[in-house]
Amino acid sequence: MKSYDGCWTCRLRKKRCDEIQPVCGNCSALQITCHFGDEKPSWMDNGLGQKEKAEEVKREVKSAAARRRGTLPMDVLADKDAGLATGGLKRQSASTKCPPFHAEPTPDSSPGWASTHTQFSTTLSKAHPDSWNTLDRLYISNSSDREPGVSELDRRFMMFYFDHFFPFLFPFYQPLLLEGGRTWVMELVAGDQAMWHTTLCLSTYFVSVALDGTVSGPNVCKSLAWEKLLKQMGVTFMMLQRNLQEVASSNTQELIVKTSRIMGSIIQLQRFEISVGNFENCQKHLGAAITLFRQIFWAVENVIDRGELPTFYGVLNHMGRPLWAITSQQSGAWNSDQAAFRFYSALLIVDDIIASTCMEEPPRLREYHARLLTNGGSSDERPPLNLEDFIGCENWVMLQIGEIAALDAWKKSTKRAGRLDMMELVARASAIKQVLLGNLARLDAPANTPKTNWLGLFTLYNDQLPPMPGGCTAFVTRVWAHAALLYLSVVVSGWQPGSAAIRENVVRTLALLEQMPAPELLRTMVWPFCMVGCLAEPGEEYRFRVMADALVPHRLFGAARKALEIMENVWKCRGELAIDTDFAACVCSLGYMSLLV
């Protein structure tokens, strides 16, 4: 029996609709587009348009059914992601450098999480072939009737994320009590549907991995977690598309807040895909997030009307008032939207810089670096974003990696035009090298001691970082800095693994990596790990394999495993690499860009 008050999708399919907005139970269970609205869609014409739309919905149901059974092809994700770009985003094009050598990827190196996890779901299906159909009926029933069990299950998955996976993914992010702590994570997820579904994607995947490692044999819990993941992926894309459409009709403050939430959801979705080993959508996700980030600054710029980019604190002020303010400091206890924007902006800045090392262009957000990552020359002020608080690496290293990427782009463009000035290249590289060496000397000085947080009373009980002399951030920063020196040497002098300067930094960085107090810390240094590994000698290869193999289960360390795969590809072609080979060619040697974060 069809509904005359439900969504237009259910009316088209002649199904009873529970009228829950923005996605009804039927459409949510089937993972298809839910059309709500007071105005009748143009395709509901009782004619050819309605017939064509009905066929389109049938195809969507069929595609979603394949996705629910663990056979989601990568083109489905690509089509969905393309929808993000067309739904109000102008995605910037970015050229990926083609590799100068042609090595065949290893059998398990195909991009995308479908290849890895289809095998997992296929194993489950063989163990109990009726389980998928049973689970389909279970979800349709629970989604339509809104039984309490589903809500309770969602909450358990969500608390699993808060308690375990967020600290696992971001071990350095431990905001002070005076800044509001991590409460914003829970508040934002509970108050934003797109973020809720994106977070469920993360949590359900990790739960499925945890259950797969602790429970042997056929188990409905593992199947349920996997089924929930596949469902949440479809719902997440629908919610993001709907939110993008709503932004256009918002006032200035609502536009800024809603846009920042969508940006956060996309960045979180990207981190999820990287964690599971899918790198095909990196450029799409990154381009969309960068566009949204710029739109936020442009919106504030239009309000203040000063003809210049607003400050980062100026943008935060347009997202509401802090919970409380401290007169002696610029910051206070950020509200949930302010704290989220700070967190995801830091991740986006890092992602953009690391992506620029794999592309022939400077970081796309380079114009924002001075406003976000420096203190404006005042030693008494903290920069708006301290990256060591988010990823464990100090700002100066990331700034210089961005400058090296910009120098690489300048060198290649002037060389193509026949205007390369080697003296200018060396002069600009020397300035970067002095910054790196000067700060490394500061890190190595005996006076460099870890900062004391007198409000961290409970650090002993919940700190995710292992104790070590000087602190983990100093260790991680030192590794990144030596990798940056390697990157600079390759940009200036070309691919010469045997040169004295490169060998010196390879030996130092490898020795540092082997001093890690815990293998899992490698997750925060994947780019340096890959950089030094590509330049390693044959006798050093096994040492990199040992570090990567220590990260178990492998499915939780997608970026590190991808870095090892890139190294293996480079090692096989070591004798074919010319002097004009660069790091970008190595990263893209598998046929796509891998964002090593």
Residue 169: phi, psi to the nearest 5?
A: -75, -35
- From first to last of the 597 residues of the chain, give the pLDDT tens digit: 445 678 888 888 888 888 887 788 788 778 788 888 778 888 888 888 888 888 888 888 876 665 544 333 333 333 434 444 433 333 333 344 434 454 433 333 333 323 323 332 332 233 333 322 332 332 323 333 333 444 777 788 888 888 888 888 888 998 877 777 888 888 888 877 777 877 877 787 777 777 665 555 445 455 555 555 556 555 666 666 666 666 655 556 678 888 898 898 889 888 878 877 778 778 888 988 999 999 899 888 877 766 667 888 888 888 877 766 655 555 567 888 999 999 999 999 999 999 999 988 899 999 999 999 998 766 667 899 999 999 999 999 999 999 999 999 999 999 999 999 999 999 999 999 999 999 999 988 764 455 544 334 444 444 556 666 567 889 999 999 999 999 999 999 999 999 999 999 999 999 999 998 888 899 999 999 999 999 999 999 999 999 999 988 888 888 999 999 999 999 998 888 889 888 999 988 888 888 898
CB 96 within 8 A of CB 283: yes
* Rounded Cα gap, residues 224 and 163, in angstroms: 21
Residue 441, pLDDT score: 93
Predicted confidence at residue 175, as pLDDT, reads 84
CA distances in angstroms from 308 to 56, 117, 516, listed in the order given: 47, 48, 44
Q: What tokens appear for 264 in the block?
A: 């956060």
Single-letter residue type at 515: Q
Determine how many CB atoms are found less than 10 A away from the CB of residue 266. Answer: 28
**CA 154-159-162 angle, 5° bins:** 130
Using alpha carbons, select from 192, 195, 226, 196 the residue that is nearest to residue 212: 226
What local confidence, expressed as pLDDT, does residue 353 receive? 97
Q: Where in the chain is the domain with CATH 4.10.240?
A: 8-52
Q: What does the alpha-carbon distance between residue 326 and residue 328 come to, in Å, rounded to a whole number?
A: 6
Domain covering 8-52: architecture: Irregular (4.10)
pLDDT at position 452 is 45
CA angle 124, 128, 132 (to 5 degrees): 75
Amino acid at residue number 208: S
What local confidence, expressed as pLDDT, does residue 468 receive? 62
SS3 323: coil
